[in-house]
Chain A
Amino acid sequence: MTAPEPAPAPAPAPEHRDAGTSAPPAPPDAPATPDAAAPPDTPGREPTRLRRELRAVHALVHRDLLRLSSQPTHTALMLLQPVLYLFILGGGLAALIPTSTLGVGYQTYLFPGMLMMTVQTPAIMVGIRLITDRQSGYLRELLMAPVSRTTLLLGSCAGGTTVAAVQGAVLLAMAGAVGLPYDPLLLALLMGGMILASFTITALSLALAVSLQRAEVFHMLLGVVMMPLLFLSGGFFPLDSLPGWARSLAAVNPIAYGVDLLRRSITLRLPDRATAAGIEWFGSRPPLALEAAALLAAGALALLWAAHRFKRPD
């Protein structure tokens, strides 16, 4: 039984033979581009490049939100700290600090700072997670995705900002408890300020994380830096009572900008609750819009730098 094997010439190219039988290549109808033979993802249509990148960003935001909802205890604990500060520290000190010194009750005064505190924890976690993802190998899985590395970094940043904003919104819902009205515009302003601040802190955290190899170093750095940053944020007490050098330090503190932004948003809607001055540039307060722009620019620059560092392939 040697006869009916139809293969005309398998002999001259023995190496290619089994390939030809198992996977039919398409040389006749696809002469030039090898991609034409690629199996289509969805029959008919290929999503555009931009769409793919946006989907990847969305995937990362989705991951962060899923993590948030799958760890309710963790989330509650992260919210606990600012709530404790607000009602225990704030409540206790309110009796000592007369309203006349700050223009408002101490709890109301503390509120913007606590909003920032709520927002900053998840924002900073993004940087830590970039490092732990790198250590666990999850980052490599992400890098395998057919999207640019910048997209992945943007996705992480968007995810961190979203989670921070969600947590901030929870605390914002307690505005009534510190004597602020539920005015839609005020809430929108505060929300906007929080989102902006979350973005900048997330971006800064990512910029730090891309250049650090170990999570411990990050934690150590945070431990050293966070306390002064919080004290110099104007969240707990007015900055103008501080010595000059401390005020110049506050002028480069992103958290101080965030707090100031939120505080001034309140003043904008409720002029009768004008509080003591926050950030000062050369002895005068910059316009609100400029302050917001500075915060945005700092975040954007940090993100650009992080993307630049992150883009470098191995």
Chain B
Amino acid sequence: MKPHAGDDAPARALLLTAAPEDPDSTRSAPEPAYAISTHGLVKSYPGPDGTAVHAVRGLDLDVSQGETFAFLGPNGAGKSTTIAMLCALARPTAGRAVVAGTDVVARPDRVRRNVGMLFQHSALDPDLTAEQNLYIHARLYGMGRRHARRRVGETLEAVALTDRRRSPVRTLSGGMRRRLEIARGLLHEPRILFLDEPTTGLDPHARAQVWDHLRTLRERHGTTLFVTTHYLEEAENCDRLAIIDAGRLVAQGTPFALRAAIGDDRVVLRTGDDTRARQVVHQTAPPDTALTLDADGLCLRVPDGSAWIPRLCAALEAHGIPVRAASATPPTLDDVFFHHTGRSITTARPPQPETGKDA
């Protein structure tokens, strides 16, 4: 019944990552409590004319065990690159990342044994059946034949694809393929599952199904989920999230804390006489409340806006001013994104999607 640990510490949630490499960054013992821990992670690619393209510029992340962590940012922000580094697919240019207790540079094979990965673009062998795809993957992960067969059966069941196990992958729908990919990611029972835009291109129904499976997975096995997304509503449902923009972490914390940290609910009142109402509200509301009067009506920003509405209405009624409409809107994650980057996540979409930087 307790609120989440981070909820009561909104200030802590804000992490401004301007901090460059500090000398005491070489912590020797990795924190076992963290599933993922990075420090000053940097990735640059050689760009045109000898310049360097900085995809990720100094990332400090801590993801706890069993947590569902969202990595929110517009396309091209460096999400996929970060995931590639955390899975030991790409080598960091600088900095350090410890995943599942193992340094990604020192022991990439051990990291990969402990993590599962769901890439942004579906990559199954379309000519083979669902079962064959999984079996080959299980064998790639070094499982014996019997163990591989058992896990294939279990994971197919977990994603409710047992009845389609003999269908060639090219005959499966997009949502089924995604689920099959989740099954593939789970074959070796990873402790951490990375999901790069797991629901992009799926219809709402398939999207909900994918999330159902992920939730079950987390409840049953305590798997840590690291999800990149540019869907705000998906990030909203995660335990914690980090916002990344142009390769930098701009904020991290619980959705609640992040929203709380940027401020108060927006309360809008429409009354019979807004000018007089303004004076009444001014007396009723906390002393330094920002009050604006515009076409929408009387607008103020207060913490816990919905609790203020009845009080404001009562005061206005007492002065004989009729209240026609009242609303309280909590800040959205888009507001949070806007607050930290100066633009909206939905408009910040460059034409070129971030794909194919690696492998």
Contact = CB atoms under 8 A, between A and B. Distances in A.
Interface of A: 14-20, 22-23, 25-27, 34-35, 37-39, 41-42, 47, 51-53, 55-56, 58-60, 62-63, 66-67, 70-71, 134, 136-148, 313-314
Interface in B116-155: 117, 119, 121-125, 127-129, 132, 135-137, 139-144, 147
Contacts of B33: 15-16, 19-20, 25
A146 B137 CA distance: 11
Contacts of B4: 18
Given A23-B66, A37-B32, A139-B359, 18 more contacts: A14-B9, A18-B4, A22-B64, A23-B222, A34-B101, A38-B114, A53-B142, A59-B139, A62-B136, A63-B125, A66-B136, A136-B121, A140-B358, A140-B359, A141-B123, A144-B112, A146-B112, A314-B90
29 contacts: A14-B6, A18-B239, A19-B33, A19-B34, A19-B65, A25-B33, A25-B65, A34-B100, A38-B100, A39-B191, A42-B143, A47-B144, A55-B139, A55-B140, A55-B142, A60-B136, A62-B135, A70-B128, A71-B127, A134-B359, A137-B119, A137-B121, A140-B123, A141-B119, A143-B359, A144-B87, A146-B112, A313-B90, A313-B91
B359 A62 contact: no
Contacts of B56: none
SS class, residues of chain A in contact with chain B: helix
A39 B189 contact: yes
Nearest to A27: B32
A146 B113 contact: yes
B188 interface: yes
B251 interface: no
B125 A41 contact: no
Contact of A56 (B67, B110, B127, B139): B139
B102 interface: yes
Contacts of B87: 144
A56 B136 CA distance: 8
Q: Which secondary structure dominates chain B's binding surface? A: loop
Contacts of B32: 25-27, 34, 37
Interface string B196-232: 0000000000000000000000000010000000000
Contacts of A22: 64-67, 222
A314 B90 CA distance: 5
A15 B119 contact: no
A152 B222 CA distance: 31
Interface string B80-112: 000010010111000000001110000001101
Contact of A51 (B34, B91, B101, B142): B142
B265 interface: no
A51 B145 CA distance: 12
A5 B91 CA distance: 45
Contacts of A56: 139-140, 142
Contacts of B139: 55-56, 58-59, 62
A67 B128 contact: yes
B5 interface: yes
A38 B109 CA distance: 14
Contacts of A47: 142, 144
A145 B148 CA distance: 14
Nearest to B129: A70
A59 B140 contact: yes
Nearest to A10: B5
B95 to A, nearest CB: 16
Given A22-B65, A314-B358, A144 B89 contact: yes
Contacts of A27: 32
A45 B113 CA distance: 15
Nearest to A47: B142
Contacts of B112: 144-146
A140 B6 CA distance: 36
A314 to B, nearest CB: 4
Contacts of B67: 18-19, 22
Contacts of A41: 142-143, 147, 188-189
A24 B52 CA distance: 43
Contacts of B119: 137, 140-141
B174 to A, nearest CB: 15
Contacts of B114: 38
B89 A143 contact: yes
B330 to A, nearest CB: 23
Contacts of A20: 33
A59 B141 CA distance: 9
Contacts of A136: 121, 123
Nearest to B184: A141
B168 interface: yes
A314 B102 contact: no
Contacts of B84: 314
Nearest to A62: B136
Contacts of A138: 123-125
Nearest to A20: B33
B359 A70 contact: no
B5 A14 contact: yes
